Chains A and B, each alone.
Chain A
């Protein structure tokens, strides 16, 4: 009768099976929020029980663009700004798959801005998760289409002269059927929102506000990632159902989060199915 020795077991992260663990450690900076957003996505896939081989992740270029390289799905790290059209082709070829575009604000909204609005307009069956850290992080903190007015970046050393996009308003106006914004502090809401988006047919868009302590925090004296999370806690205001027009973000002021749009409209693939039915009856060109 000896005492039993309890060997502490190595603790496995519950979502390890969705990660390419042989690619870790990741490249993201301490205090960055992209990992939290990715974790919320993996949790959403897990809780919905979507088979792993039926999920594809497509990213563009930039810090968030690296998500495709860490997730163990069919994953494509494409060109700057083009993940949405690449994913559009992939989804049409594999309509049974859940195709998710995971990329950053610079990639999706600046260089890829045209693809974003057109994908929303055609209501293609994709979920876009857009991590917004208000700057180009990968290249060292330059101004982008979401950089707040007056904010400092390496290319706006005297403060940003321009004004940022209000992303929910932009994509809602373009036709997205599901539009939400959360910060990486709102992990529960974010996960639930991603779950909803993945179940909608059509174009769904979730903006995830994230700290970038190195690229954006430092020049704007925001502090480290933890301080930024504290800022989210103190300044975030959940306003589900708010008209996206009123959801603009202001610089170092309140952050409106919530689900702004959730409506049904025939998706590209739904319309396509009808299209097939009509076209197969078209007698022209049978003889060339």
Chain B
């Protein structure tokens, strides 16, 4: 009947796979603004959504795009926007609103060389910390880093699931290389795609407290038009959703927002380990760079270095427990990323001086090659 899920094997662009993942996850509202190298996501959504009764709307800027996906999510739709670094800078204002109001939505950032206008058509991974801390104040964020076109599809579905379950904006932290890569992607039949939905109130409106939670710390979400008369405000608010301006209320609310993610971090955090069982050197990488890292690790093994790969799937929350664990096993961490050490510092923090941490870094514009990582493994080998 419906062509929502394009079940089958395709030779597909990463950005298009992202759009198809969103559609397969049930996204029927996309608000966006063209920006290289994420434009193909918007173009695909503009063509596909109307076929499915969904809506693509091109907003006047990224501020508006982000605001629109929050509004549509409050109406009950699964919503997404897609951008690159300069656009993410503008979206961070309303990403903060989404975190404070606990509105599920997905923000795709196909990273390019930065800062400023930087390298619009070339790769970068420099927005890792922007994704983590870019909006003002203390908050937790979920960010996923796909390494392949298949993962552009899979992780977009996952991003929606996490956004819905934890009632929070989720960032898909892709990069230009993965976004513009065309390769094989297998789209499963719809019944094999597991979808999670946001928690909804089970009590009548007169008993509903919009921000009251059980031990899950995730409040059920009433949608607009259901007679719950929800009030949502970016001001610090109480369980009724009403503004309350004092330190105690702020502590209660923001603490819960932080704990909501931290408490569930063990279920949220995902990573892949390759050849780590007996590894003495751990290469930590993510996104497109993880593919070079995998090649380097395999080559290092051939050359007699017991190397392994820890590939981050959730860049945020950061798997610091696993790094701490590995600190007891390995003699060296090598972090490969197309930035000046944004995740390396996280690894250093988690390793806490137990194990040296080296980095293979570039500024953006070109990929890190397997040889460059391999060289770092040789140099550090005692």
Complex Cα gap A285–B63 (Å): 30
Task: Report B-chain residues with C-beta under 8 Å of the C-beta of A278.
Answer: 50
Instruction: Let me know if B225 and A56 touch, CB within 8 A.
Output: yes
Q: In angstroms, how far is the closest chain A Cβ from the Cβ of B30?
A: 10
One of B229-237, B294-302, B367-375 contacting the partner: B229-237
Task: Report A-chain residues with C-beta under 8 Å of the C-beta of B68.
Answer: 85-86, 88-89, 92
Task: Report B-chain residues with C-beta under 8 Å of the C-beta of A73.
Answer: 229
Given A23-B242, A56-B225, A282-B51, answer yes or no on A92-B57 (Cβ-Cβ < 8 Å).
yes
Does A106 make an interface contact (CB < 8 A)?
A: no
Does B265 make an interface contact (CB < 8 A)?
A: no
Instruction: Let me know if A96 and B71 touch, CB within 8 A.
Output: no
Does A78 make an interface contact (CB < 8 A)?
A: yes
For the complex, count residues of B whose C-beta is within 8 A of A: 56
Instruction: Let me know if A97 and B60 touch, CB within 8 A.
Output: no
Task: Report B-chain residues with C-beta under 8 Å of the C-beta of A76.
Answer: 71, 74, 101, 231-233
Interface size class of chain A, counting residues whose CB lies under 8 Å from the partner chain: 35 or more
Instruction: Let me know if A85 and B67 touch, CB within 8 A.
Output: yes
Given A77-B234, A275-B50, A285-B51, answer yes or no on A82-B63 (Cβ-Cβ < 8 Å).
yes
Does B204 make an interface contact (CB < 8 A)?
A: no
Task: Report B-chain residues with C-beta under 8 Å of the C-beta of A92.
Answer: 29, 55, 57, 68, 72, 75
Instruction: Let me know if A82 and B67 touch, CB within 8 A.
Output: yes
A-B contact count (CB 8 A): 169
CB 8 Å contact bits of B219-258 with A (1 = contact, 0 = none): 0000011111111111100001011000000000000000
Instruction: Let me know if B61 and A279 touch, CB within 8 A.
Output: no
Does B116 make an interface contact (CB < 8 A)?
A: no
Task: Report B-chain residues with C-beta under 8 Å of the C-beta of A75.
Answer: 229-232
Is chain B's binding surface mostly helix, strand, loop or mixed? Answer: mixed
Instruction: Let me know if A79 and B242 touch, CB within 8 A.
Output: no
Instruction: Let me know if B67 and A78 touch, CB within 8 A.
Output: yes
Task: Report B-chain residues with C-beta under 8 Å of the C-beta of A53.
Answer: 225-227, 229
Instruction: Let me know if B51 and A280 touch, CB within 8 A.
Output: yes
Does A90 make an interface contact (CB < 8 A)?
A: yes
Does B377 make an interface contact (CB < 8 A)?
A: no
Does A246 make an interface contact (CB < 8 A)?
A: no
Does A139 make an interface contact (CB < 8 A)?
A: no
Complex Cα gap A272–B46 (Å): 12
Task: Report A-chain residues with C-beta under 8 Å of the C-beta of B53.
Answer: 276
Does A258 make an interface contact (CB < 8 A)?
A: no
Given A23-B242, A282-B51, A288-B8, answer yes or no on A93-B72 (Cβ-Cβ < 8 Å).
yes
Complex Cα gap A83–B96 (Å): 15
Task: Report A-chain residues with C-beta under 8 Å of the C-beta of B51.
Answer: 279-280, 282, 285
Complex Cα gap A68–B63 (Å): 21
Complex Cα gap A118–B230 (Å): 28
Task: Report B-chain residues with C-beta under 8 Å of the C-beta of A78.
Answer: 67, 70, 94, 97, 234
Q: In angstroms, how far is the closest chain B Cβ from the Cβ of A23?
A: 6
Task: Report A-chain residues with C-beta under 8 Å of the C-beta of B48.
Answer: 285
Does B134 make an interface contact (CB < 8 A)?
A: no
Instruction: Let me know if B225 and A96 touch, CB within 8 A.
Output: yes
Instruction: Let me know if B69 and A89 touch, CB within 8 A.
Output: yes
Q: In angstroms, how far is the closest chain B Cβ from the Cβ of A46?
A: 16
**Which A residue sits closest to B76, measured CB to CB?**
A93
Complex Cα gap A73–B241 (Å): 13
What are the 4 closest A-B residue pairs judged by CB atoms, nearest first?
A93-B75, A89-B71, A279-B50, A89-B72
Show 10 A/B contacts (Cβ-Cβ < 8 Å), sorted by A.
Answer: A69-B242, A73-B229, A74-B231, A77-B235, A89-B71, A92-B68, A94-B225, A118-B59, A280-B50, A287-B6
**Chain B residues in the interface with A (C-beta under 8 A):** 3, 6, 8, 10, 12, 16, 20, 29, 31, 44, 47-48, 50-51, 53, 55, 57, 59-61, 63-65, 67-77, 79, 93-94, 96-97, 101, 187, 224-235, 240, 242-243
Contacts beyond the supplied A69-B242, A78-B94: 4 A-B pairs with Cβ under 8 Å: A54-B225, A75-B231, A89-B75, A96-B225
